[in-house]
Amino acid sequence: MITQISCGEGEQKPALLSDSKAPFGAPEFHLYNIGDYLDAFKTAIEEKRADVKNIINNSDAPTFANTIDALELSGKNLDKVSSIFFNLNESDNTPQMTEIENAVTPMLTELNGYIYMNDTLFGRIRTLYEKRESLHLDEEQNIVLEEYYKQFVRGGALLNTEDKAKLLELNTQLSLASIEYGNNLLNDSKLFKLIITNEEELSGLPQSIRDAAAEAAKADGSEGWLFTLDKPSCIPFLQYADNRSLREKVYKAYYGRGNNDNENNNKDVIRRILQLRQQKAQLLGFENYAAFALDEKMAKTADAANKLLMSIWKPAVERAKEEAEALQNMINAEGGKFKLEGWDWFYYTEKLRKSKYALNDADIKPYFRLENVLAGAFDCAHRLYGIKFIERTDIPVYYEGVKTYEVLDSKGEHLALFYTDFFPRPTKRQGAWMTNFVNQKNLGGENIRPMVVNVCNFTAPTGNTPALLNIDETRTLFHEFGHALHGMLTQTHYPMVSGTNVKHDFVELFSQINEKWAIAPEVMRTYAKHYQTGETIPDSLIEKMQRSSHFNLGFETSELVAAALLDLRMHTIEDYTDFDCNKFENEVRAELGFIPEIEYRYRSTNFAHVFSGGYAVGYYAYLWAEVLDCDAFELFEERGLFDNATAMSFKVLLEMGGSKDPMREYCRFRGAEPNPDALLRARGLID
């Protein structure tokens, strides 16, 4: 049972709604009972409604303080319960959590309707918005006011009563369909198990991969070796397994998640989501959902996003064709009597890498122990921004193996808490992400510092072998840590614009640029130490990695751009009555000239970013932001990777959250408009 805390008059309330006694007010996960979430949500929703009602019923003329400040300060307990529940639901998604999510989602949708469709409340905001130039607001306040006005308009404030009811119903259905999509994907992924009992079928697999598969089988109660669709399991299998038929089985299972005509089929869910999104967009006055979504992003229009993507696509697909030819030549040279297929690409790419550069993951991974890579990320943050990380064992965590760090600023003062959750488990969704347990704000006499978490799915330790990362996992750690830095360094007043609450196609700048320090030779020498000998990674290996840095980038770029184009074009359709996602994928593939040996990075039925992760018409943002991060990093390369003046100037971008105009501030940092060729140079697609 959850610990109950007395609150007077014989009443008791769960720890979820009580002030934390943990250091810094950190969530007391050990006190939270799953059975209390629903009641906690109900109470917190009513509290939020009461707070908003007080604003609505305020007879005083609207001011920024009694309307906008009051909205930003409302619903404290709902912020707390929501951040805890939805974060844990992603990292430990049990049937009970799904049941609660399905029950809570309509309540939250209804609450949003009550807020954003209230004529009186919108009237107060519109009054402020229309006279904003005379209110003497600072830039952050102006942006917050404009964001509230746009949120209300996009939330249906200008609709008539009948259309408001329609929008509320559409939002409810969309939320539930998104949950269904995500659960289908997770459940379908868990269904696949490749159990090998004949050791000969492990031919080609490194011992570390075999050991991990043996431990996975043991944990599953199976004999032999178990391979799943978790990336640390399936990608190495595709890279190294000599058995072509088993590679085909794993490949098709991975890219076919949610597309198996079983109880986890996502095809019908996709059609339903797209139909609902289109109805919502048209109800709000937009031609299609792409126009609705992009209106809030830096790109603004589908044409602008498409123009960027196609400028990258053309050189990328040409490079991919050259790579495919090289792999086919290797197959032919070995006497293979078959045409290159998708399940051969990873395998022969690894062989070609070894042949061409005398390099493979087995050479690299011993130098990239997880703890050392994380220490390297911490050290970079210290050298760039002056912050320090101190592990704390007195902060409650939500799962065994999660670690917590106190973050101190350059003056030694408390800046944030940082949680890490690095290893797969059956109830954790795939991928890697950063979120907040507590958002930063400095409002109403309280300066609340953030509590940030990085969640990943890295190869776990096996036996006496620690967790060793390949170079992609190393970059992923630095990537998510870049998001974490954005969340931890933020120095705004309003939670609406704090941390990563920025335009969608700006947010990836901070994660992607941070990856570049991970693979910089002078940085690798500081943290890449052999896990057995302590030897620093040799220059000869770094040189091989540098020479191979553009290897296979035709594949990597084309699979990414193709997925972004699929997302964009899927949302410019206006009639989804007969929409078939598989047929549509093939049509886009044919139009683009996308070679059949490469699959979309995500197919529609497993494109969680778009259908359950908030990236609808936003997957292009990785490439939009990559123009910025490549352009920005060239400045660091010119002046020095840890040049203090450059780092402090970039830190302003990290600290400002969404409180300033992003492109203006980027140009201030860079001294010029971003150069799109920087991306093509970084990917080796132009000289």
Q: Which residues are catalytic?
A: 480
DSSP string, 36-48: GHHHHHHHHHHHH
Of 78, 84, 72, give the one whose Cα is nearest residue 151: 72
Q: Helix H segments across 117-229?
A: 119-130, 139-154, 161-191, 207-220
Q: Say which residues have a Cβ less than 8 Å from residue 424's Cβ, sequence separation at least 6.
A: 230, 232, 430, 457, 458, 460
Note whether 422 and 467 are within 8 A (CB).
Answer: yes
Tokens of 413: 């003062």
Note whether 314 and 592 are within 8 A (CB).
Answer: no
Q: How far is the C-alpha of 301 from the C-alpha of 297, rounded, in Å?
A: 9
- SS3 state at 265: coil
H/E stretch holding 603 reads none
Note whether 485 and 510 are within 8 A (CB).
Answer: yes
Q: Say which residues have a Cβ less than 8 Å from residue 247's Cβ, sequence separation at least 6.
A: 237, 238, 241, 343, 344, 346, 347
- SS3 state at 531: coil
Q: How far is the C-alpha of 327 from the C-alpha of 350, rounded, in Å?
A: 10
Instruction: Give the CA count within 13 Å in the CB-facing half-sphere of 310.
Output: 12
CA distance from start to end of the chain: 64
Q: What is the CA radius of gyration of the chain?
A: 25
Q: How far is the C-alpha of 439 from the C-alpha of 501, rounded, in Å?
A: 10
- SS3 state at 6: strand
Note whether 392 and 414 are within 8 A (CB).
Answer: no
